[in-house]
Amino acid sequence: MTLIRRQIAAIPFLVRNNKVEVLLVTSRSTRRWIIPKGNIDSGQTPESAALAEAYEEAGVSGVVHGDLPIGFFNYLKRTAAGDTHPIMVEVFLMRVTGILDDWPERAARERQWALLADASGLVEEPSIAPLFERLAELEHALIAEAVEFASHAE
């Protein structure tokens, strides 16, 4: 029986000009557009691990949005030896509160903000597209929350 490994990911987002934008990063090896993801270190909760990956890979800080993951996806991870392992990724939505000019993996990755409507076309991992579709269902609520938050911050 094959052991399915677990990882976490974040979909960093913000609202600009009444549109939801998500932050994508390139993978280190293939340079494909992906979302920040990685392993859960000992002592981390899935939520704190997702925030840590977003910081390390994309240079953003923020808070997990909602009480539950936005969804899951599966993929086959290829090792340096050429083996593959099945991975199940738990994905959290992350409201971005800070964008850094320098971050741990800046030299290894590019980052790009994309309108939610364009994100699924940029990400080549087909199992991620349904997560953007789910996020699109929440877009009006996220925009309303951002407007509410901004009015209280003034």
Here the CATH number for the domain that contains residue 107 is: 3.90.79.10
pLDDT computed for residue 41 by the predictor:
93
Taking the model in full, what pTM does it have? 0.91
Q: What tens-digit pLDDT sequence spans the chain (154 residues)?
A: 678 899 999 999 999 999 999 999 999 888 899 999 999 999 999 999 999 999 999 999 999 998 899 999 998 888 888 888 899 999 999 999 999 999 999 999 999 999 988 998 999 888 898 999 999 999 999 999 887 766 666 5
Whether 56 is a known active-site residue: answer yes
For residue 90, the model assigns a pLDDT of 97
Q: What is the pLDDT of residue 77?
A: 85
Beta strand 33-34 pairing with 111-115: unpaired
Tell me how many domains the chain contains: 1
Determine whether 136 is exposed, middle or buried from the number of CB atoms within 10 Å of its CB (0-12, 13-18, 19+): middle
Q: Where are the alpha helices (DSSP H) in the chain?
A: 46-53, 116-122, 129-137, 139-153
Catalytic entry in 21, 47, 53, 56: 56
Domain carrying residue 29 = 5-153
Closest CA to 92 of 20, 148, 38, 33: 38
**What whole-number distance in Å separates Cα of residue 37 and Cα of residue 50?**
7
